[in-house]
Every structure is written in structure tokens, then in C-alpha cells.
Chain A
């Protein structure tokens, strides 16, 4: 429940971290993002918690009266809640918010696309650390729908040497996360890194692979922490890699190779890496891809190496309501594999891929909030915006 009394406004767009390829904002574009960030925070903190109240106060009692029992799973809760006007209003608002955020980011980016492409090209041209491969096909699990309502998704190219998908993603994610990911939207990576350094202070990886790295938001913290390591940021989407490479280079982070490759069939040698990391990756794949990807991770990992993933928490130990509300994105925000992956026993998947049962683990990564970026109150409660604030969930394994 959101009980914050001192309301932290989300940071204004002008406080988001800059780098060489970050889009320029005109006054009204900035004001639109500021409005959207505040709107999203209002929806998440003032409207969202009412769904639980509506469920407890009227939806669940009505269900119990009719069925003689409580809803047994999230599917029954969803069917019952989808008739509730409060839930409908919140859902409709949240979907609309997502679309408005995309529209504003795209409008801002597309009007300056030639300049953005030019800026990226000037940094990228001839760089051995950007390795694109036009023969890489977009996997079906990414092409079926446009992931989280991004028109064109990560991979669509609207011009030669396009970076627009990444520039749009980078420019607007602060609004959807209320700034919780930090100035450079790298909160997931920083949380995993802090966990790693706290839990395994002696583990110093030298060959790091980030799968589904996108524009490298979460790769950069690792590259900074292990400056002597070779780091590969892998993705299938060229616009993300072009932009991510230019971004990292301009931030002074030169030890990341941005590589276009499908992680189901990697061109790396067995045991090439001693640390394989993913952040918010698995829920954008598919049932068939899961075991293939995990076997590939096992293969490219050296003995004594570790893999760790940051994901949304699984549904296993959740109440039907909690699982239902977390499942919203699957049904209404173009995350079609979300519901299946969060029912999957990832530890069993790792064992089937070759990892020892006792070498697999689940983990919690406390968020490392940038208090100077988040104005005012920074103690975020777990219920806020699907728990993005306080604690990240993860799992991983050592290869023995």
C-alpha cells in the first residue's frame, strides 16, 4: 500500500542523464514528459492501490457469494475484476498513459532523427566495438506484437543507420519508472552489481556477457566496476546497439562490445565467459526459446563462472490477487510471454540446462536509489508500480 505522506514528485525530464546521443527536448516536449511522469506516478500511487480495495470490498465478496469459495487463482481474479468499474478505469488510464508516453518520445525523436543518426555515426563509424550483423533475424517472440506498446518495438528501422527505437526508449523510461531507475536508467544493473560485490566480494569476472542488453542501460555499471574486463552487450536489435554503443562511448565507457546476435545460437566458444548476466530479458522470450537460451548460457560459461538474471518475481508464492495484478502487463501492455515465464520454475530450467541443483540460487537485489535524483521521499514501498521501487528479484547459478 502506498502510504507516503511526503510526496516525491518524479524528477523533471531535464534532470535525466545526458550523453552524446540523448535527444534534445523542446519546451513543450519536455513539459509533456513532465506531465506524463506525474500522471504515471499519480496512477501508480493514488489510483493503483484502490484496485486491491475494490477487490477486497466488493469483487471478492461477490465472487464468494456466487461460488461459495474464494477465487482459486489469478485467472479467476482477472475474470471477476474485469467487470469492476474501478479496475477498468485504472486499466484504461494505464494503457492510455503507455500510448501517450510512446507518442511523445517518438515525436521528439523522429523530428530530430537525422541529427541523432549523424551523432551516432560520428562515434560509431569504424569502431571495432560495434558489431552489427544484418543477417540476424528477429525472433518470432519479438515480432508477434510490439513489446510494451512501443510502435516498431526495439528492432524496426525507419531510416538507414536508425537509432530511433533506442532514443525513444531512453528518453521516456524515466517517466514510466518515476525516476526510480536513476539518472541513467541503470537501476537494475546497479542493484545486481551491488548484490554481487556484497555477496561475492572475491568474484572478479574478466569476461562478461550481457544477454538482451538493449542499449546497455544495465551493462554500463558492470563495465565501470570491472574496467579491465571484456564485456559483450548482446542484442538482436541494431537500433539499440548503435545507440547503446554511441551512448557508452560518449560516457567514457570503452570496454563494451555491442554485438548483434541471437542468444539462442551464439558464435562464442564454450567457456568463453566467466559471468553471464541478463536483466528483464526472460519475459520477452518464449517457452521454446527458454531451454535453448539456458543451454547456451551454460555452454558459453566457463567452469567456476556464474550466471545471474534480474526478472519480475515468479507467481509461485503469491496470493491470487498479487499474481493477477502483476499479470496486467501480459494481457494489456504487450508482454505476451510474461504470464508463462512467471509460472515457470527457472531453477529447474537451469538444472535441465546442466547446472548442479545445489549450484542454483534465487536472490533479491535491493534497489540502490539515487537520492539526489529522486527529490524528497525516497523510501519506496513494495506495492508501488508493481514493486519496481524497493526490491528486485533474481536467480542464477554457478557452473561447477
Chain B
């Protein structure tokens, strides 16, 4: 056994030896799916943590889940929450907005390379 150990081996995200397969014609789809599943996982983790906090608060009689269910936001909270949700959804679905705007401005959006050439000679 060698006495020197490669510190790279301590990276939890170390790649397994062996070519990584991609399944779609465009490997970007596989990569996006992987990123999406990582996000889904982290959301589940955050949700479970919140659930843990709520249950401990309930055990300590600080807060019950019935109180959480019965909570009704006041007007200011309603407004803030609605704004947060709208922003959140827009963030998740941003790519569709990009496509929408491009379609909406089809006549306005000129070919990008044309812009590059245009500015080069302007």
C-alpha cells in the first residue's frame, strides 16, 4: 500500500471510472435532467427539514400543525406572498418567457451575427 493518497479521491462528486453514457441525441438533455433531479432532491431535503422543525415545535407545544393549517395571512402578508409566488414561478419558467418574448418581437430581433457584423463595420 502506498503512503500517499490522492486528495481528489476525497471529492464526494468524484466521477466513477468508465465512460459516462448519455441517452438523448443531445447530451444536454441528459445533463439538464441531472441538474433538475438534483434540484428536486434538494427541495425534498428542505421540505423534510421544515417538517422536522414543525414537529419539534409541536412536541415542545410551541406550535401545532393545526395552528399552521389555521393560519390566515393578513393583508400585507397576502401581498408579499403573492409577489413571492409570482416571482418564484417566473424564475422557474424563465426559459418559456424567453421564447415568448422572442416570438413577440420576431420582427424586432434581427440575426445576432448581423448585429456583430454591423457593429464591426459601423
A residues contacting B by CB (< 8 A) are 27-28, 31-32, 34-36, 38-39, 82, 87-89, 91-93, 95-97, 99-100, 102-104, 106-107, 110, 134, 144-146, 149-153, 156-160, 238, 331-332, 334, 336
Contact = CB atoms under 8 A, between A and B. Distances in A.
B9 A27 contact: no
B17 A146 contact: yes
Interface string B1-35: 10101100110111111101111100001100110
Interface stretch (B37-45, B61-69, B76-84): B37-45
Nearest to B41: A35
Contact of B12 (A89, A103, A159): A103
B41 A92 contact: no
Given A28-B45, A32-B45, A149 B21 contact: no
Contacts of B10: 110, 158
B47 to A, nearest CB: 8
B33 A149 contact: no
A99 B52 CA distance: 27
Contacts of A104: 12
B contact residues, range: 20 to 34
B16 A102 contact: yes
A100 B37 contact: yes
B23 A31 contact: no
| Candidate in B3, B5, B15, B23 with the most chain A CB atoms within 10 angstroms | B23
A106 B12 contact: yes
B48 interface: yes
B94 interface: no
Contacts of A160: 1, 3, 5
Given A93-B37, A160-B1, 9 more contacts: A82-B23, A88-B24, A92-B24, A92-B29, A92-B34, A103-B13, A134-B1, A156-B9, A160-B3
B109 to A, nearest CB: 30
A159 B45 CA distance: 30
If over half of A's interface residues share one DSSP class (helix, strand or loop), that class is named, otherwise mixed; here it is helix
Given A31-B45, A39-B37, A91-B23, A145 B14 contact: no
Contact of A157 (B1, B21, B30): B1
Given A149-B16, A150-B16, A31 B49 contact: yes
Contact of B14 (A38, A88, A106): A106
B38 to A, nearest CB: 7
A334 B18 contact: yes
Contacts of A334: 16-18
| Candidate in A35, A91, A102, A153 with the most chain B CB atoms within 10 angstroms | A35
A104 B44 CA distance: 14
A336 B19 CA distance: 12
A110 B37 contact: no
Contacts of A146: 16-18
A151 B16 contact: yes
